[in-house]
Structure 1
Amino acid sequence: MTVPLKTRLAPPAARRRLTEDLVSRVYRQVPDPGPHLDLVPLEDDDYRRMTARLMEEIDPRQGLWIFAYGSLLWNPTFRYAEHRVGTVHGWHRSYCLHLTRWRGTPEEPGLMLALERGGACKGVLFRLPAGEEAKDIELLLRREIGFKESGNRWRWFDARTDQGMVRALGFVANHACSYYRPEPPLEQTVAMLARACGHGGSCAEYLYKTVASLEQYGIHDRHLWRLQDRVAEQIAIETGGGI
């Protein structure tokens, strides 16, 4: 049976300081400037080749699992037949993709999460329905890798779950990308997340939805929790409305 996309799995463990009200204070209408001229879009044939390669790499005994750690939790491109909370060792969430489009502008650049080497990352593994893998893989690639020089690159993870190990497809930071940079110091990260907004929404919204979605699955990321606390305080200070 396919599980609805927005099933609420657990109540929040504690009160978040970053609220919908604070997030709404950051939002502003920003026109889409279009992709940077030096970014070359991938073509349909590129996606077909990548999809064919990944289809060959699926373990037929397990089927296709996707590892979600950020926006795929609350804005997926697929429906799923099963989910499990799991941990990928050797990787951690990092605000290492700098954006001047989508959730940022050249005047107020934003930050996006990706996976970086080191530590561990707890997320959710989704098993996709059998028979739809090729379609779902191509949609996922189009979402995560839009250009020949992309901030993400795919890889297969061995994730540990309570039900055993799962081999899952996921995405990590591409260090060769021009808008990759190591996550800034805490104060700079907080300031950027509290201010940046583009035609795709604000960075505060992205942080809010990611932390809230993780909570629904019983996952507490200490780094993101600290960031949401500090970003909430920064927005309140800059907007003068309190928390």
Structure 2
Amino acid sequence: MFPKTTNLSFILSPDTSLWIFGYGSLTWKPNFEFSSHRYGHIDGFARRFWQGSVTHRGTPDTPGRVATLVKSDKEECWGTAFEVRGEEQIIGALQHLRIREGVQGGYEACYVRFQPIDDSSTPMQVLVFIAVPENSLFLGWAELSTMAREIAAAGGASGPNCEYVFELAEYMRKTFPGVWDDHLFELEALVRDFVQSNCICCRDTRTIADECLNSHSCHRNQKQESIIPLEGTVGSQTTTCHKVLTY
């Protein structure tokens, strides 16, 4: 059981800073103002795509899958810790995360020990949001191929579910080139396979082509099956990832 953090009022003094650990979309899309950031890891946890998303990356009819943390004594999870300093930044970040992670996401806040990538640095406490199994959106374990099929078919207000996986995998690969995350990278490869095989553009190019992620028109496959356009954003560009309805 994770220790819950329900009272955060003590951190609201003007000269206090709070560190928030991101291991999913927060790594590449925090969407709150922060003063600094540090790279590193937390021990005893593993990143898993076991949390359902019915708002940001899915719908109630077609839930997406997003990352959460699960206890795993021999593993570690790498990510980014963001420092929010002073009352304005702290309140702004917590108000944003309360909606994004709590109300809409089903996550709960707790503190964990964070080790900066520089081993000579002192470990510190960071606030992290974790989707515990008791929450109503928790999907839990499934075969990677099943999860990949679900992710390839889902999308929500923040964009295609596949975009979440691709952006996170790319961020981890660039930020931590010496770290291999089996679950994330194997899932990424399977999701790409499903997207490629069900989009005429990607199937013809044998890759997730830029014109698929950045196009504004719908590519139909040779059987003229209906395709779902799921819009999101990558940088400043609007993206549309085209999914065949029949997986």
Answer yes or no: same fold by TM over 0.5.
Answer: yes
Partner of residue 123 from structure 1, selected from 79, 93, 101: 79
CA shift, 1:140, in A, is 2.1
CA shift, 1:60, in A, is 10
CA contact (8 A) 1:98 1:179 kept: yes
Deviations 1:128-182, CA, capped at 9 Å, x for gaps = 23343233222222221116xx621000111112222011111111222122121
Change (3 A) 1:54 1:193: same
* Higher RCO, Cα 8 Å, sep 6+: 1
Deviations 1:50-87, CA, capped at 9 Å, x for gaps = 5xx21326899983101010111122132222221111
Partner of residue 103 from structure 2, selected from 143, 146, 152: 146
In the aligned structure 1, how far is the partner of 2:45 from the partner of 2:98?
Answer: 20
In the aligned structure 1, how far is the partner of 2:183 from the partner of 2:49?
Answer: 10
Change (3 A) 1:223 1:59: farther
Deviations 1:15-37, CA, capped at 9 Å, x for gaps = xxxxxxxxxxxxxxxxxxxxxxx
Partner of residue 110 from structure 2, selected from 155, 167, 172: 155
Partner of residue 72 from structure 1, selected from 4, 19, 26: 26
Runs of at least 5 residues in structure 1 that lack an aligned partner in the other structure: 1-48
Change (3 A) 1:123 1:188: same
1:227 aligns with 2:181: no
CA contact (8 A) 1:63 1:127 kept: yes
In structure 1, give the amino acid aligned to 2:43. H
Q: How many residues align?
A: 191
Greater mean deviation of Cα atoms: 182-191 or 55-64: 55-64
CA-atom RMSD, angstroms?
A: 2.6
Q: Please identify which structure carries the higher strand content.
A: 2
In structure 1, give the amino acid aligned to 2:195. I
* Partner SS, residue 64 of structure 1: strand
What's the counterpart of residue 214 of structure 1? 172
1:183 aligns with 2:141: yes
In the aligned structure 2, how far is the partner of 1:208 from the partner of 1:225?
Answer: 9
CA contact (8 A) 2:11 2:17 kept: no
CA contact (8 A) 2:20 2:126 kept: yes
In the aligned structure 2, how far is the partner of 1:130 from the partner of 1:158?
Answer: 22
Question: What fraction of aligned residue pairs are identical, expressed as a percent?
Answer: 26
* Partner SS, residue 180 of structure 1: coil
CA shift, 1:189, in A, is 0.8
TM-score between the two structures when normalised by the length of structure 2? 0.68
Partner of residue 103 from structure 1, selected from 43, 46, 57: 57
In the aligned structure 1, how far is the partner of 2:40 from the partner of 2:14?
Answer: 20
In the aligned structure 2, how far is the partner of 1:164 from the partner of 1:59?
Answer: 23
In the aligned structure 2, how far is the partner of 1:56 from the partner of 1:85?
Answer: 26
* Partner SS, residue 112 of structure 1: strand
CA shift, 1:236, in A, is 1.1
What's the counterpart of residue 114 of structure 1? 68
